[in-house]
Amino acid sequence: MSGTPGTPAHAGRDGGRRLWNEAVETLSREAIAELQLRRLQYQVRYNYERSPVHRRKFEEAGARPEDIRSLEDFARIPVMTKDEHRRIQEESLERHGSPFTLMACAAPEEIVRINATSGTTGVPTLYTLTAHDVAIVNEMHARKYWRTGIRPGHVMLQALSLSMFTGGLPLSQGIMHMGACVVPVGIEGGTKRVLDIARITRPHAIVATPSFGQYLIEEAPRLTGRPATELGLRWFFCAGEGGGSDPQVRRALAEGFGARVFDHTGGGHAFHGISCEAQDEGCTGMHLVSEDHCLLELVDPGTRAPIALADGAVGEMVFTFLDWRGGPFMRYALGDLLQVRTRPCSCGLPGIRFAILGRADDMLTVKGVNVYPQAIANVIFRLYPRVTGAFRIMLDRPGPKVAPPLRIRIEHGGVGEQDIEALERELTALFRQDLRIRPAFEWLAPGTLPREAGKTRYIEIAAP
């Protein structure tokens, strides 16, 4: 990694290694599977013995921990949803005076941290961690940043909400754990404060939501008199929202800051991933770095039937924490849709990859084929710059069922009439190959569709 821009001269001997934890991060698929099963068998017994909620899940399946001899056996245990988690929390608070009694597996005096989800929809769900669990979270943050070239001596500006958010304090701790320097400015103090602190501390990297990043690019000239490129940032880490997987957003951030852009996920729990600079086969995904502590499964969002983790498979993410003590999640379904890639990535970094395709509620079904708006966006963007990347899925009525053909309004990149025909043929072939559907396209001139700040809505519902 010599010559990596921004690597401090005093990064030391360890600065030369590419991975934070070589031994674990380069395990073969077979070795990972063996480790996961061994840890799973221990974990299910631990969960069963200590939590009435987990025990109930086994009873629903008519199983006991000793019946779990394979992942197929484990897939019989019903999933737990976020709504269910919330209800259990309420029930626990009512009956036992604590939201954790029913779920937590460690004694109260072992719990050292409580994290919460943002709580934008309803009551926040809470996570309890022991010191052992906190150490795992720190390890995962270190694995992610180390892969991108962050080393001791680098300064990272943390410009996310710090209030209870899993990307708040836990992230700070992870950065410190790997020996880099965190400046936890947060966004609560406002944009001007973030820019002032950046000017004084000269960070090499920033962690922020992609929409806040785009806002900084717009506001920096007005508030500081200089473009955002002069902040001197070499890394932009997207967190907290989905935009970091959007190629257009990534390009805007890369150009606006003059930085390398990475998308990453995983706050105060065991599911952690980070993107690389290769974007293979239209997959704008992340490398999963926490397989030794997180068993990932995919299920059909409708029937919850298991879907094999084959290359290109799409399904609702279900995860189970391994070697976890506080509030281990078991077959927990957050409602996120994932596409996995199991073939090796051209970047050479190990591990399977995943792309978050949105929410399970976003799923559309065309002639029995499940289709996801973000997957459509990824296919379309493969033809950039002959297309702008902007498009809308036009529905007569809300999904998931769509009467074929799926109608897509799409902007070309400013090509001639006869080139559109060729473009459409190519796009149709990509849709057939990747998504197994044949949409009807309506071509628009570049800039026709409204651009929205923050999250783009891909679906428009209008009666014909």
CB 238 → Zn ion: shortest distance, Å? Answer: 16
CA distances from 309 to 269, 306, 343 (A): 22, 9, 11
d(CA 40, CA 33): 10
- Nearer CB in complex with Zn ion: 216/349: 349
CB 186 → Zn ion: shortest distance, Å? Answer: 30
- Nearer CB in complex with Zn ion: 172/284: 284
- Nearer CB in complex with Zn ion: 147/412: 147
What is the three-class DSSP state of 206?
strand
- Nearer CB in complex with Zn ion: 164/347: 347
- Nearer CB in complex with Zn ion: 19/61: 19
d(CA 48, CA 59): 10
Non-local CB neighbours of 235 within 8 Å, separated by 6+ positions:
6, 148, 149, 150, 156, 204, 205, 206, 259, 260, 261, 262
Q: Residues in the chain, how many? A: 464
Query: Do 387 and 413 touch, CB atoms closer than 8 A?
Result: yes
DSSP letter at 383 equals: T
d(CA 9, CA 20): 19
Kindly give the residue spans of alpha helices, DSSP state H, lying in 62-158: 71-74, 82-96, 131-147
- Nearer CB in complex with Zn ion: 46/262: 262
CB 349 → Zn ion: shortest distance, Å? Answer: 5
User: Does 439 sit behind a cis peptide bond, omega within 30 degrees of 0 on the bond before it?
Assistant: no
- Nearer CB in complex with Zn ion: 325/353: 353
Binders of Zn ion among 333-362, rule CB under 5 A? 345, 347, 349
Tell me the two tokens of residue 286: 């992340």
User: Does 404 sit behind a cis peptide bond, omega within 30 degrees of 0 on the bond before it?
Assistant: no
CB 275 → Zn ion: shortest distance, Å? Answer: 8
CA distances from 215 to 121, 190, 192 (A): 24, 12, 12
CB 175 → Zn ion: shortest distance, Å? Answer: 22
d(CA 178, CA 254): 25
Taking residues 290 to 329 in sequence order and writing x for each that binds Zn ion by CB under 5 A, - otherwise, the string is ----------------------------------------
Q: How many residues at the interface with Zn ion, by CB under 5 A?
A: 5
Residue with tokens 């009873």: 59
CB 384 → Zn ion: shortest distance, Å? Answer: 20
d(CA 127, CA 324): 12
Q: What is the amino acid identity at position 87? A: R
Query: Do 20 and 151 touch, CB atoms closer than 8 A?
Result: no
Query: Do 447 and 388 touch, CB atoms closer than 8 A?
Result: yes
- Nearer CB in complex with Zn ion: 104/338: 338
Q: Which of 278, 310, 369, 422 touches Zn ion by CB under 5 A?
A: 278
CB 279 → Zn ion: shortest distance, Å? Answer: 8
What is the three-class DSSP state of 320?
strand
Query: Do 206 and 212 touch, CB atoms closer than 8 A?
Result: no
**Does residue 19 touch Zn ion according to CB under 5 A?**
no
CB 357 → Zn ion: shortest distance, Å? Answer: 18
CB 274 → Zn ion: shortest distance, Å? Answer: 9
Binders of Zn ion among 398-417, rule CB under 5 A? none
Query: Do 237 and 262 touch, CB atoms closer than 8 A?
Result: yes
- Nearer CB in complex with Zn ion: 254/278: 278
**Does residue 208 touch Zn ion according to CB under 5 A?**
no
- 3-class secondary structure for 369-407? EEECHHHHHHHHHCCCCCEEEEEEEEECCCCCEECCCCE
- Nearer CB in complex with Zn ion: 280/424: 280
CB 202 → Zn ion: shortest distance, Å? Answer: 29
DSSP letter at 124 equals: P
Taking residues 138 to 157 in sequence order and writing x for each that binds Zn ion by CB under 5 A, - otherwise, the string is --------------------
Stretch that binds Zn ion, among 24-32, 113-121, 274-282, 365-373 (CB under 5 A): 274-282
Handedness of CA 211, 217, 220, 221 (dihedral sign): negative
**Does residue 276 touch Zn ion according to CB under 5 A?**
yes
CB 251 → Zn ion: shortest distance, Å? Answer: 18
- Nearer CB in complex with Zn ion: 341/412: 341
Stretch that binds Zn ion, among 21-29, 268-276, 336-344, 365-373 (CB under 5 A): 268-276
Q: Which residues bind Zn ion (CB under 5 A)?
A: 276, 278, 345, 347, 349
